Amino acid sequence: MTFSLPYLIQIIGAIGALTYTYVTLTDKVDYLENQVAAMQEDIKTNAQWQREWESGGILPLDVEQNEKIKYLEWEVIKLHKQLYGN
C-alpha cells in the first residue's frame, strides 16, 4: 500500500483540523456549563431574596438602615434634652 505525499499531508491536516475543532468545542461546552452553574446559584439566591421580600421578611440592608435610624433618633432625643432640658 502506497500513499502519495500530498495525500498524506491532507490526511494529517484533516486530523489536525478535527482535533482542533473537538478541543475548541469541548472548551466552549465546559465554559457554558460553568456559566450555567454560576447563574443557577445566582437565580437560587435571587429567588430566596424575592420570597423573603414578598413575605415581609427584613432584609439585611433594612436591618442596617433601621439600626442607623434608631441611633439617629436616640441622638435627636439626646440633643433635645440638652437644649430644652426635657
Question: How far is Cα of residue 33 from the mean position of the Cα atoms in its chain?
Answer: 14
Residue 75 vs residues 14, 61, 67, 78, 85: alpha-carbon distances, Å: 78, 21, 12, 5, 14
- Domain count for the chain: 2
More confident residue, 64 or 8: 8
At residue 84, does pLDDT exceed 70? yes
Amino acid identity of residue 80, one-letter, is H
Whether residues 45 and 68 share a domain: the answer is: no
11-59 pLDDT, tens digit per residue, is 999 999 999 999 999 999 999 999 999 999 999 988 887 877 766 666 6
Range of the domain at 71: 58-86
Amino acid identity of residue 38, one-letter, is A
CB 53, CB 59: distance < 8 Å = yes
Whether residues 74 and 35 share a domain: the answer is: no
Residues 37, 39, 42, 48: what is their CA dihedral angle, to the nearest 10 degrees? -90
Whether residues 23 and 64 share a domain: the answer is: no
Whether residues 36 and 6 share a domain: the answer is: yes
Whether residues 74 and 51 share a domain: the answer is: no
- For the record, the C-alpha cell of 47 comes out as 429567588
Whether residues 46 and 79 share a domain: the answer is: no
Whether residues 50 and 86 share a domain: the answer is: no
pTM flag (> 0.85): no
Whether residues 49 and 15 share a domain: the answer is: yes
Whether residues 8 and 35 share a domain: the answer is: yes
